[in-house]
């Protein structure tokens, strides 16, 4: 396709990107901006994370007018509220709600998810005025799989990149669908860290990690490693393939899988990447990550892995974050 593709925005880590791509869009994630969210705050109470507040604020400020739409999957209460507010206050950017199930396994989930994907496909078709064929879907699955493979390959180099560079690469990927690998910047004796949370847009965090000379060797970010870990099948029914992939990924905190455990994955990551410690980068007011932090931290403490909790918000003071991270480096540097 040679023509410029329209952009469709999304929040939440379980939108069916392949379907959006097949409809002719490039799906782009709406990262929060550190500017004052005055417009957003008129509509949202203060106890909502800044990712949601900033998205609404940017929309109200006309900064997202190039988007053909916004896709929100059911994940947390804040984004669910955003869907309601968006419909009323940003009518020029149509909202597509994707009822992603909260369960990832169980006998009823697959058929519901397939039906919901068919429903979303119908709604998008109604909006664009042209059909989304199965062949187009398969092409898009293939395209998305290739992108994921590139990101997986990039992740094999994460330990040799500076954290700001690596995560800037990932953000660029989500904003422009292009992957530009960062220059390696190895620091052989750097303390090795795993990051957990939903903080891809918190640029200040990565800068601090670089300043203290740490290297990230893996992450459990909602939009990080786990997001790219599985591909969708390129044969068979394409919507089923997309559904299958969404259910196969390691759950984010808002999803329940009866056997796939975030605790186990984190412990495994720490072990296989020889991490010295874990930093939890939690957005203030984020309920899912707030509860999840306690289970994960407890598991780490039980096996003696040092960890640090950082609570992030729009007005995060770099100095305060830096002190905590530095002190944590001093703790893990002992060993």
Partner 1 sequence: MSKYPRLASLKAISQVMTRYYAQRSVMARFRPVAYVTSGAPVEIMEAMGILTLYPENYGALCGAQRAAVALCEIAESTGYPADLCSYARSHLGAVLQPKRAPLRGLPRPDLLVCCTNICGTVLKWYEALADFYGVPLFVLDVPFQRATPPEPHIVAYVADQLRELTAWLQAHTGRRLKPERLQKTLQYAREAVSLWQEILAFGQHRPSPINAPDLFVAMAPVVTLRGTRRAVECYRRLKAELEARVAQGIGAVPGERYRLLWDNIAIWYRLYRFFRPFMDAGACFVADTYTNAWTVALDVDEPFTGMALAYTGVFINLDLATRLRIIADLARRFQVDGVVMHANRSCKPFSITQYEIRDALREELGLPVLIIEADMTDARLYNEGAVQERVAAFLESLG
Partner 2 sequence: MYTAGVDIGAITAKAAVLKDGELLATAIIPAGYDRAQAASRVLDQTVAQVGISRAQIARLVGTGYGRVQVHGADRTVTEITCHARGAHYLCPEVRTVIDIGGQDSKAISVGADGRVLEFVMNDKCAAGTGRFLEVMAQALEEDLLNFGMLALSSPRRATISSTCTVFAESEVVTLMAAGIDKAEIIAGIHEAIATRLATLAGRIPVRDVVMLTGGVALNAGVAHMLGEKLGHSIVVPRHAQLAGAIGAALIAYADLTGGRTAE
- Which of 107/188 has CB closer to partner 2? 188
In a 3-state reduction of DSSP, which class is residue 53? helix
Site for partner 2 in 287-326 (CB under 8 A): 306, 309, 311, 317, 319-320, 323-324, 326
Residue 168: which of partner 1, partner 2, none does it interact with, CB under 5 to 8 A by kind?
none
- Which of 48/154 has CB closer to partner 2? 48
Residue 319: which of partner 1, partner 2, none does it interact with, CB under 5 to 8 A by kind?
partner 2
Q: How far apart are CA 209 and CA 219, in angstroms?
A: 14
From candidates 149, 294, 318, 327, binder to partner 1 by CB under 8 A: 294
Residue window 58-87: x/- pattern of binding to partner 1, with contact defined by CB under 8 A: ----------------xxxxx-xx-xxx-x
- Which of 70/199 has CB closer to partner 2? 199
Residue whose pair of structure tokens reads 């990262």 in the numeric block = 31
Q: Which stretch binds partner 1 (CB under 8 A): 32-40, 135-143, 250-258, 266-274?
A: 250-258
Site for partner 1 in 14-53 (CB under 8 A): 42-45, 47-48
Query: Please, which residues have CB within 8 angstroms of residue 296's CB and are 6 or more apart in sequence?
Result: 196, 262, 263, 266, 278, 280
Q: How far apart are CA 139 and CA 127, in angstroms?
A: 21
Q: How far apart are CA 84 and CA 79, in angstroms?
A: 9
Q: How far apart are CA 251 and CA 257, in angstroms?
A: 7
- Which of 169/254 has CB closer to partner 1? 254
Q: Is 277 in the site for partner 2 (CB under 8 A)?
A: no
Q: How far apart are CA 334 and CA 265, in angstroms?
A: 26
- Which of 92/334 has CB closer to partner 2? 334
Residue whose pair of structure tokens reads 């496909």 in the numeric block = 121
CB of 134: closest distance to partner 1 in angstroms? 19
Q: How far apart are CA 207 and CA 205, in angstroms?
A: 5
- Which of 30/117 has CB closer to partner 1? 117
Query: Please, which residues have CB within 8 angstroms of residue 148's CB and are 6 or more apart in sequence?
Result: 228, 231
From candidates 35, 131, 291, 327, binder to partner 1 by CB under 8 A: 291
Q: Is 46 in the site for partner 2 (CB under 8 A)?
A: no
Residue 94: which of partner 1, partner 2, none does it interact with, CB under 5 to 8 A by kind?
none
Distances (CA, A) of 291 to 197, 215, 276, 286, 296: 12, 26, 23, 9, 9
Length of the chain: 335
Closest CA to 33 of 53, 14, 15: 53
Residue 232: which of partner 2, partner 1, none does it interact with, CB under 5 to 8 A by kind?
none
H or E element at residue 93 = none
- Which of 1/108 has CB closer to partner 1? 108
Q: How far apart are CA 23 and CA 136, in angstroms?
A: 8
From candidates 3, 88, 92, 334, binder to partner 1 by CB under 8 A: 88
Q: How far apart are CA 93 and CA 18, in angstroms?
A: 20
Q: How far apart are CA 190 and CA 7, in angstroms?
A: 39
Residue window 257-286: x/- pattern of binding to partner 1, with contact defined by CB under 8 A: -------------------------x-xx-
- # residues contacting partner 1 (CB under 8 A): 51
Chain residues binding partner 2 by CB under 8 A are 306, 309, 311, 317, 319-320, 323-324, 326-327, 329-331, 333-334
């Amino acid at each position: 396709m040679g023509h410029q593709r329209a952009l469709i925005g999304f929040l939440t880590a379980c939108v069916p990107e392949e379907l959006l791509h097949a409809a002719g869009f490039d799906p782009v994630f709406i990262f929060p901006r550190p500017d004052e969210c005055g417009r957003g705050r008129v509509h949202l109470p203060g106890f909502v994370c800044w990712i949601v507040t900033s998205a609404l604020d940017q929309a109200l400020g006309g900064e997202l007018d190039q988007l053909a739409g916004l896709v929100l999957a059911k994940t947390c209460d804040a984004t669910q509220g955003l869907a309601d507010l968006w419909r009323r206050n940003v009518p020029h950017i149509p909202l597509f709600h994707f009822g992603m199930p909260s369960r990832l396994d169980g006998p009823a989930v697959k058929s519901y998810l397939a039906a919901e994907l068919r429903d979303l496909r119908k709604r998008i078709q109604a909006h664009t005025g042209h059909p989304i064929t199965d062949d187009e879907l398969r092409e898009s699955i293939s395209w998305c799989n290739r992108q994921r493979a590139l990101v997986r390959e990039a992740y094999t180099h994460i330990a040799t990149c500076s954290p700001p560079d690596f995560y800037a690469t990932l953000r660029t990927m989500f904003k422009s669908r292009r992957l530009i690998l960062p220059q390696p910047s190895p620091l052989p004796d750097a303390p090795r860290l795993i990051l957990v949370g939903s903080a891809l847009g918190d640029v200040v965090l990565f800068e601090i990690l670089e300043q203290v000379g740490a290297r990230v060797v893996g992450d459990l970010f909602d939009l990080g490693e786990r997001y790219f870990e599985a591909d969708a099948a390129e044969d068979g029914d394409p919507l089923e393939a997309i559904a299958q992939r969404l259910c196969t990924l390691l759950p984010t905190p808002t999803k329940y899988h009866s056997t796939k455990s975030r605790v186990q994955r984190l412990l495994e990551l720490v072990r296989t990447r020889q991490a010295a410690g874990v930093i939890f980068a939690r957005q203030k007011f984020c309920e899912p990550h707030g509860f999840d932090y306690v289970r994960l931290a407890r598991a780490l403490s039980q096996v003696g892995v040092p960890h640090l909790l950082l609570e992030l918000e729009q007005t995060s003071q770099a100095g305060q974050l830096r002190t905590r991270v530095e002190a944590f480096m001093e703790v893990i540097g002992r060993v």
